[in-house]
């Protein structure tokens, strides 16, 4: 699904903020990405959702080396990826409903299906009474839930979530993680950046750990052959 080989990233002429990254995300896998503030988690995810290009090394996504993918094909590739941005990136002039419906409408889904799917998902995350609200009128946690709903509404092949539970309470965090796990069971590959150790501890999935732009050697929370239990 994803392969990084000796990937490095620098912004402009600055220092390398990511160095020598080599790892693989198998199709259908679930990884946490962790590491201290400024370690490079969001930068790594930007490479994954094609918002930055590596300054060196090779990234293969959906079996294609990114350096060989023509620019005009990148939007097609992006549509196979659901992203929860650390800063949400909701469209402030559009209602909650329209924000979440947008990816379905772009994908050319019919309006009836869109209405049903969006209403059902927003109800599930507890925002049934906010369908017509504009994002600036929501709390931080409510914005985060809208951003999560928008990322998963199209059932993407790859979900990239940057601290998706940073602003929501414990019960809702677990509910969101269960949603990711359920999508993962249906075959979606997931990578979730988080500092939330109790959550990582509870869910027990393999972990990539960044320190100052490099991956730590021991990147597994569990050995790959240990049984993964469902969160209680
Ligand atoms: N657009 C940018 N231009 C220049 N430098 C940047 C840019 N974005 C990030 N950086 C630098 O890259 C490094 C890694 O930042 P990044 O946002 O990837 O860290 P992070 O691990 O996601 O941190 P946090 O836990 O705070 O979200 C930092 O030193 C940061 O200053
Ligand atoms: Mg970050």
Per-residue pLDDT for 224 more than 90?
no
Residue 117, C-beta contacts closer than 8 angstroms, at least 6 positions apart: 104, 109, 153
Q: Name the band, by pLDDT with cuts 50, 70 and 90, for residue 102.
A: very high
> The pTM is what?
0.92
Q: Whose CA is nearest to atom 6 of ligand 1?
A: 11
Mutate to test the pocket of ligand 1, among 9, 21, 33, 39 (most ligand atoms within 8 A of CB): 39
Closest-CA residue, ligand 1 atom 11, reads 17
Which residue's CA lies nearest to atom 29 of ligand 1? 38
Hey, is 215 helix, strand or coil? strand
**Widest distance between CA atoms in the chain:** 50
CA-nearest residue for atom 3, ligand 1, is 11
Ligand 1, atom 30: nearest CA belongs to which residue? Answer: 38
Is the model's pLDDT at 220 over the cut of 70? no
Q: Best substitution site from 41, 84, 191 to test ligand 1's pocket, by max atoms within 8 Å of Cβ? A: 41
pLDDT at 137 > cutoff 70 = yes
Per-residue pLDDT, 198 = 87
Rounded distance from Cα 112 to ligand 2 centre (Å): 36
pLDDT band at 149 (very low <50, low <70, confident <90, very high): very high
Burial class (CB in 10 A: 0-12, 13-18, 19+), 47: buried
Task: Label residue 232 by pLDDT band (50, 70, 90).
Answer: very low
**Mean pLDDT confidence for 132-146:** 96
Q: Please give the Cα distance from 142 to 88 (Å, whole number).
A: 10
Q: Is the CB of 17 under 6 A from ligand 1?
A: yes
DSSP string for 65-94: EGGGS-GGGHHHHHTTEEEE-TT----TTS
Predicted local distance difference test score (pLDDT) of residue 231? 52
Kindly tell me if the per-residue pLDDT of 53 is higher than 90: yes
pLDDT at 229 over 70: no
Q: Is the CB of 13 under 6 A from ligand 1?
A: no
Closest ligand 1 atom to 86 CA: 27
Cβ–Cβ < 8 Å for 148, 156: no
Structure tokens at 12: 């402009």
What is residue 218's predicted lDDT score, i.e. its pLDDT? 53
Q: Check if 46 has its Cβ closer than 6 Å to any atom of ligand 1.
A: no
Q: How confident is the model at residue 230 (pLDDT cuts 50, 70, 90)?
A: low
Mean pLDDT of 158-176: 92
């Amino acid at each position: 699904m994803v392969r990084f080989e000796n990937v490095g990233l620098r912004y402009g002429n600055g220092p390398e903020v990511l160095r020598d990254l080599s790892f693989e995300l198998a199709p259908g896998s679930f990884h946490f990405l962790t590491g201290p503030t400024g370690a490079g988690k969001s930068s790594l995810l930007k490479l994954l959702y094609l918002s930055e290009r590596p300054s060196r090394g090779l990234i293969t996504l959906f079996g294609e080396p990114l350096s060989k993918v023509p620019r005009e094909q990148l939007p097609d590739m992006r549509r196979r990826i659901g992203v929860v941005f650390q800063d949400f990136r909701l469209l402030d002039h559009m209602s909650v409903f329209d924000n979440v419906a947008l990816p379905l409408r772009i994908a050319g889904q019919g309006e009836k299906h869109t209405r049903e799917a969006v209403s059902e998902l927003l109800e599930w995350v507890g925002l049934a009474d906010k369908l017509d609200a504009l994002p600036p009128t929501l709390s931080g946690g409510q914005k985060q839930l809208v951003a999560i709903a928008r990322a998963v509404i199209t059932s993407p092949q790859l979900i990239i979530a940057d601290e998706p539970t940073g602003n929501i309470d414990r019960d809702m965090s677990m509910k969101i993680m269960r949603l990711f796990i359920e999508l993962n069971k249906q075959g979606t590959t997931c990578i979730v950046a988080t500092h939330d150790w109790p959550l990582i501890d509870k869910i027990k999935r393999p972990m990539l750990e960044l320190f100052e732009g490099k991956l730590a050697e021991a990147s597994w929370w569990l050995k790959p052959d240990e049984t993964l239990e469902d969160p209680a």
